[in-house]
Amino acid sequence: MKRTGARESGAARRCAVGKLAIFGVGLIGGSFALALKKRNAVARVVGVGRSRANLAAARRLGIIDEIAADPALAVKNADLVLLAVPLGQTAAVLAQIAPYLAPHTVVTDAGSTKRDVIAGARRYLGAAFARFVPAHPIAGIEKSGAQAALADLYRGRSLIVTPEPETDPRAVRRVTAAWKLAGMRVITMRAADHDRVFALVSHLPHLLSFALVDNIAGYGDAAALFKHTGGGFRDLSRIAGSSPEMWRDICLANRDAILAALDGYLGALKLLRGMVEASDGQGLEARFAAARAAHAKWLVKKTGWRTGD
């Protein structure tokens, strides 16, 4: 894509990305910056965020080169803009930056839902919508903030892109090339398919984990109960350590798909409850065996490991 605007420095010409503006320099945005810096693939990184302390930490850690208080200055002549803010803030950021995007600037996001983000981009970006590439890096840990950022977070992980018919293929190539440099493999999906899939395999498990911990915490003897937890509880509850703000926004943004996923799970629980109530050992064993076989099949496809290896 032809670059216009301010003259590039020699360093920028040698880099895949000259100026990168990141809104939300936490685990996701910070790790993206570190990954590109590790590959010498970005000349300058500008960070924007709500917490001055977090931005100062990001600069101290070498994640960003500059802090921008003004979104307009942050995106001025940027080659790539990454929105890594909580979903509830994405539309507002799009509205703020839209008037200041240069003709060559490509905008992308890292949100866990796509239809709502696309709707916001379509509403606020105008002609620049063709240079908006909806994306979702499938990577993360339960920690947050700039200090959690890891240069190798994305290595070997998948990036989902959900371009619209109007999306400029050159913009898609620029975004996917940057994420490939970060170590990711790229998968293209329809936005509606993405939201349904991740409601089932990501959003639902997080809700279940939050519900499990919240349920135990509600008992009068919760302190004693938590003392007796073991590996099973630890595995199931691990993701309850995730950001409440982020998961609130995801639930609201992907409401319909999550409701459908919850209804399916509640049906499965109701079936199991009926078997337990009826002392249906044969039925329970059959359901457990089917689930175990499905898990083993998934594990082999994902990792190459077989149960018992």
132-164: per-residue pLDDT in tens? 999 999 987 767 788 899 999 999 999 999 999
Q: Which residue has the tokens 């950021």?
A: 93
Report, in angstroms and rounded to the nearest whole number, the Rg of the chain calculated over CA atoms.
Answer: 22
Answer yes or no: pTM beyond 0.95. no
Cα distance between residue 159 and residue 34, in whole Å: 17
- 153 three-state secondary structure: coil
Q: What type of residue sits at position 111?
A: G
Domains of the chain: residue spans and CATH: 10-189 (3.40.50.720), 193-278 (1.10.3660.10)
pLDDT tens digits, residue range 266-306? 999 999 999 999 999 999 999 999 999 999 998 877 655 44
Cα distance between residue 26 and residue 148, in whole Å: 7
Residue pair 37/9 in contact (Cβ under 8 Å)? The answer is no
Cα distance between residue 66 and residue 48, in whole Å: 9
Q: How many C-beta atoms lie closer than 10 Å to residue 130's C-beta?
A: 17
Structure tokens of 149?
């950022």
pLDDT value of residue 5: 38
Q: Which residue has the tokens 């595995």?
A: 235
Cα distance between residue 260 and residue 177, in whole Å: 35
Residue pair 65/46 in contact (Cβ under 8 Å)? The answer is yes
Low-confidence ranges of the chain (pLDDT < 70): 1-15, 142, 302-309
CA distances from 244 to 54, 142, 144, 202 (A): 18, 11, 11, 15
CA atoms within 13 A on the CB side of 258: 18
CA distances from 247 to 57, 60, 137, 141, 204 (A): 24, 28, 16, 14, 11
CA distances from 294 to 286, 287, 288, 306 (A): 12, 11, 10, 12
Cα distance between residue 256 and residue 254, in whole Å: 6
CA distances from 267 to 20, 241, 270, 274, 288 (A): 46, 26, 5, 11, 16
CA end-to-end span of the chain, whole Å?
A: 49
pLDDT value of residue 16: 84
Structure tokens of 4?
């216009």
Cα distance between residue 216 and residue 209, in whole Å: 11
Structure tokens of 188?
């293209």
Residue 113's nearest CA partner among 230, 227, 203 is 203
pLDDT value of residue 299: 82
Residue pair 132/121 in contact (Cβ under 8 Å)? The answer is yes
